[in-house]
């Protein structure tokens, strides 16, 4: 599996990482803790080192599962987690409610100092490899946020600094105040907004690009039953992308690229993940998994290599069938 650098930090991982949002349970129709722990360990066994989490994933629950799964194996993993969505104080801007608690966007130095200690405790570690500002806070100057992050780096509590859900001007402001090692943004075959400004800016400043939702919440994981119903608080239940008509379009797309999939010798999900990390695209593709089998399948995508002709074929098929799904 291809090894990549997270900017200039010296931290290395593979081009495929494991995302743990669904393991927290919130917005994914519940969770199975035992299966989640198995999935994390299966990822490590398959050569995937980056395990990405956040306090907001189940109000700390996903981080706790990562900590349990990595017991005795901490040095096998590259842990990425986040700060900036808080429920211990009511500062910044109210963002959403989760499990009866009001969650705020806030990146003040006081909150970052509190959050890093809580994450270290839940993760059962004394350092975090990549610490990411989860969502941006318009009420706190970027200079203050970066000052707090750089202090944590000097103290050895974090090894690299990342930012997420930023626009190009905000990233430039971060870069004015210190080294940014990675950004984390939504990126998939049907989510390509970052290609216009953020990707060129990151290349110019040696900033790694980590893509989340590489399979578009599962929509691009392969042919999907057009009549499937999503239950409970599963966010896909009311997502217009998952309409019956759109799922039929996705199935037509996969039917067209079936000969390519067969020739490459991989699953559709692996093909979509490999598309994300093909040359001139992103550094790491994060993939969610809730079972060991899903984790192993995602990991194998790191061994799939797509050249320009294969990428062009996929792009052309997407233009024919998935244009209505693209922002």
| Nearest in space to 20 (alpha carbons), one of 9, 5, 4, 33 | 33
Whole-number Å distance between alpha carbons of 231 and 198: 35
pLDDT-wise least confident of 69-78, 164-173, 182-191, 224-233? 224-233
Instruction: Look at residue 228 and tell me whether its pLDDT is greater than 80.
Output: no
With H, G, I as helix, E, B as strand and everything else as coil, classify residue 187. coil
Whole-number Å distance between alpha carbons of 305 and 1: 10
Radius of gyration of the chain (CA): 19
Backbone phi, then psi, for 197, in 5-degree steps?
-120, -45
Q: Can you name the CATH fold of 3-325?
A: TIM Barrel (3.20.20)
Whole-number Å distance between alpha carbons of 194 and 64: 31
Backbone phi, then psi, for 107, in 5-degree steps?
-125, 30
**In the prediction, which pLDDT does 238 show?**
75
**In the prediction, which pLDDT does 198 show?**
98
pLDDT-derived band at 226 (thresholds 50, 70, 90) equals confident
**In the prediction, which pLDDT does 235 show?**
66
Region 34-57: what's the mean pLDDT? 97
Region 170-195: what's the mean pLDDT? 98
**CB-side neighbour CA atoms (13 Å) of 205:** 20
Whole-number Å distance between alpha carbons of 181 and 130: 8
pLDDT-wise least confident of 20-34, 177-191, 215-229? 20-34
Secondary structure in 3-state letters for 70-138: CCCCHHHCEEEEEECEECCCCCCEEEEEECCEEEEECCCHHHHHHHHHHHHHHHCCCCEEEEEECCCCC
**In the prediction, which pLDDT does 233 show?**
66
**In the prediction, which pLDDT does 225 show?**
81
With H, G, I as helix, E, B as strand and everything else as coil, classify residue 141. coil
**In the prediction, which pLDDT does 142 show?**
98
Whole-number Å distance between alpha carbons of 75 and 279: 29
Q: Per-domain residue ranges for the chain?
A: 3-325
pLDDT-derived band at 224 (thresholds 50, 70, 90) equals confident
**In the prediction, which pLDDT does 28 show?**
58
Region 69-80: what's the mean pLDDT? 97
**In the prediction, which pLDDT does 239 show?**
81
pLDDT-wise least confident of 113-127, 194-208, 238-252? 238-252
Whole-number Å distance between alpha carbons of 253 and 188: 15
Instruction: Look at residue 160 and tell me whether its pLDDT is greater than 90.
Output: yes
**In the prediction, which pLDDT does 229 show?**
75
Instruction: Look at residue 312 and tell me whether its pLDDT is greater than 90.
Output: yes
pLDDT-derived band at 30 (thresholds 50, 70, 90) equals low
Task: From residue 162, give the alpha-carbon distance in Å to each of 14, 206, 285, 294, 301.
Answer: 17, 12, 15, 27, 24
**In the prediction, which pLDDT does 10 show?**
97
Instruction: Look at residue 236 and tell me whether its pLDDT is greater than 90.
Output: no
Whole-number Å distance between alpha carbons of 86 and 102: 8
Catalytic residues: 57
Region 81-92: what's the mean pLDDT? 98
Instruction: Look at residue 273 and tell me whether its pLDDT is greater than 90.
Output: yes
Mean pLDDT of all residues belonging to the chain? 94
Query: Which residues are CB-contacts of 88 (< 8 A; sequence separation ≥ 6)?
Result: 111, 114
Output the DSSP codes for 208-219: EEEEE-TTGGGT
């Amino acid at each position: 599996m291809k090894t990549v650098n997270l900017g200039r930090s010296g931290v290395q991982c593979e081009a495929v990482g494991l995302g743990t949002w669904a393991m927290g349970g919130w917005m994914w129709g519940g969770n199975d803790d035992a299966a989640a722990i198995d999935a994390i360990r299966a990822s490590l066994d398959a050569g995937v080192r980056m395990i990405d989490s956040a306090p907001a994933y189940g109000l700390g629950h996903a981080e706790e599962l990562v900590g349990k799964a990595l017991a005795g194996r901490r040095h096998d993993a590259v842990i990425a987690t986040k700060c900036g969505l808080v429920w211990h104080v009511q500062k910044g801007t109210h963002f959403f409610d989760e499990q009866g608690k009001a969650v705020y966007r806030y990146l003040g130095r006081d909150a970052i100092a509190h959050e890093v200690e809580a994450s270290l405790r839940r993760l059962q570690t004394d350092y975090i490899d990549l610490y990411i500002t989860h969502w941006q806070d318009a009420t706190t100057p970027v200079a203050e946020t970066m000052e707090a992050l750089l202090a944590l780096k000097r103290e050895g509590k974090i090894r690299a600094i990342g930012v997420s859900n930023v626009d190009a001007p905000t990233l430039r402001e971060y870069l004015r105040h210190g080294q940014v090692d990675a950004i984390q943004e939504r990126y998939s075959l049907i989510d390509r907004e970052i290609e216009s400004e953020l990707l060129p800016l990151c290349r110019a400043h040696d900033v790694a690009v980590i893509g989340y939702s590489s399979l578009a919440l599962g929509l691009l994981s392969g042919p999907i039953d057009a009549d499937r119903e999503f239950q409970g608080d599963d966010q896909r239940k009311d997502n217009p992308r998952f309409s019956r008509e759109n799922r039929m379009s996705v199935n037509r797309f996969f039917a067209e690229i079936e000969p390519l999939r067969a020739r490459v010798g991989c699953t559709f999900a692996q093909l979509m993940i490999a598309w994300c990390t093909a040359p001139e695209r992103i550094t790491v593709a994060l993939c969610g998994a809730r079972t060991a089998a899903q984790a192993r399948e995602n990991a194998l995508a790191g061994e799939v290599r797509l050249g320009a002709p294969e990428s062009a074929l996929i792009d052309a098929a997407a233009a024919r069938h998935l244009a209505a799904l693209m922002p």
